[in-house]
């Protein structure tokens, strides 16, 4: 059965990391491993991660970055470590578990069944029958950003910034994550830009054929998020940088 390795970037998550949720999930999970990346935290996060690792050391590894590198680099370094394992799928998840860990199974199942898909991105779509709770201002700022991102990439992508993603391990992944990102907040967009760049002029399937946006059943804003409203405006500057770099 294919296995997954999920990267959890952590910066000053001492009081926010829901450790019990990880323990409960791993008691029922099959072939799911975690790499917890301590991104130069200044609080007691590293000790919290080590305590969590000791509950199930066979399924949890810790990557400790002594200096804060930012989420983009923490994820990138974690992915490169995961690629050295035997995992079939590698993903990353926000430490606050705004997207419940159980969704990993949904992504995993989709990649098992749909062999044409190489990337699954969680999408926070407010549909009837779904439990998506997001502050109005973040929702509308997010929709504006998503429209601009879609135009910049030339793809009808709905939600690039949801912190729940999974990738099929292919030879391309080393290219997608091999070099540091030019973007700090919108590195998710840069991953897609790199995919577009590497496939332009080739016979490989187009990016829109291999990326699947999965409408999440559950997603909740969690208090204490490090993303502020002003960061949406910073992301627009980064979007221009991505556009200049890859197109």
Contact predicate 207/155, CB 8 Å = yes
Q: What is the pLDDT of residues 46-63, one digit of tens each?
A: 999 999 999 999 999 999
Residue 115's pLDDT is: 96
246: pLDDT strictly greater than 60: yes
Q: pTM of the full predicted structure?
A: 0.93
pLDDT at 142: 77
Cα 96 to Cα 18: distance, rounded to the nearest angstrom? 7
Q: How far apart are CA 90 and CA 4, in angstroms?
A: 6
Q: Which residue has the higher pLDDT, 236 or 37?
A: 37
What CA–CA distance (Å, rounded) separates 219 from 100?
Answer: 7
Contact between 162 and 123 (Cβ < 8 Å): yes
The predicted pLDDT at position 73 comes to 98
**Predicted confidence (pLDDT) at residue 170 exceeds the cutoff of 90:** yes
For 8-12, what is the mean pLDDT? 98
59-102 pLDDT, tens digit per residue, is 999 999 999 999 999 999 999 999 998 899 999 999 999 999 99
Band (pLDDT 50/70/90 cuts) for residue 140 is confident
Closest by Cα among 30, 31, 166, 9 to 86: 31
Which DSSP letter does residue 205 get?
P
Confidence of residue 228 (pLDDT cuts 50, 70, 90): low
Average pLDDT of the chain to the nearest whole number: 93
Can you list the alpha helix ranges (DSSP code H) found in the chain? 19-28, 45-55, 71-82, 103-113, 136-153, 173-178, 187-199, 207-210, 229-246
> Region 190-209: what's the mean pLDDT?
96
Output DSSP code: residue 200.
T
Would the pLDDT of 230 be above 80?
A: no
Q: What is the pLDDT of residue 8?
A: 98
pLDDT at 191: 98
- Total structural domains within the chain: 1
CATH (domain of 231): 3.90.550.10
Domain that holds residue 229: 4-246
- If pLDDT is split at 50, 70 and 90, which confidence band does 227 have? low
Q: What distance in Å separates the CA atoms of residue 201 and residue 213, rounded to the nearest whole number?
A: 24
């Amino acid at each position: 059965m294919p296995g997954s390795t999920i990267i959890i970037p952590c910066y000053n998550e001492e009081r926010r990391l829901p450790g019990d949720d990880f323990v409960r999930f791993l008691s029922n999970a099959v072939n799911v491993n975690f790499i917890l990346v301590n991104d130069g935290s200044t609080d007691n996060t590293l000790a919290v991660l080590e305590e969590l690792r000791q509950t199930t050391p066979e399924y949890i590894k810790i990557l400790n970055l002594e200096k804060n590198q930012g989420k983009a680099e923490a994820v990138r370094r974690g992915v490169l470590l995961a690629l050295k394992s035997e995992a079939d799928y590698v993903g990353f998840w926000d430490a606050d578990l705004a997207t419940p860990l159980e969704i990993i199974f949904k992504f995993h199942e989709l990649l098992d069944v749909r062999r044409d898909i190489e990337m699954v991105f969680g999408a926070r779509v407010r549909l009837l029958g779904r439990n998506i709770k997001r502050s109005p201002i973040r929702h509308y700022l997010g929709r504006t950003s998503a429209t601009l991102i879609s135009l910049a990439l030339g793809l009808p992508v709905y939600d690039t910034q949801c912190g729940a993603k999974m990738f099929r391990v292919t030879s391309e992944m080393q290219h997608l994550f091999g070099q540091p990102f030019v973007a700090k907040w919108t590195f998710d967009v840069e991953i897609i830009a790199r995919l577009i760049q590497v496939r332009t002029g080739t016979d490989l399937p187009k990016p829109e054929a291999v990326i699947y946006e999965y409408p999440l059943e559950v997603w909740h804003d969690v208090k204490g998020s490090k993303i502020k409203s002003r960061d949406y405006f910073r992301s627009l500057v980064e979007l221009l940088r991505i556009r200049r770099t890859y197109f």
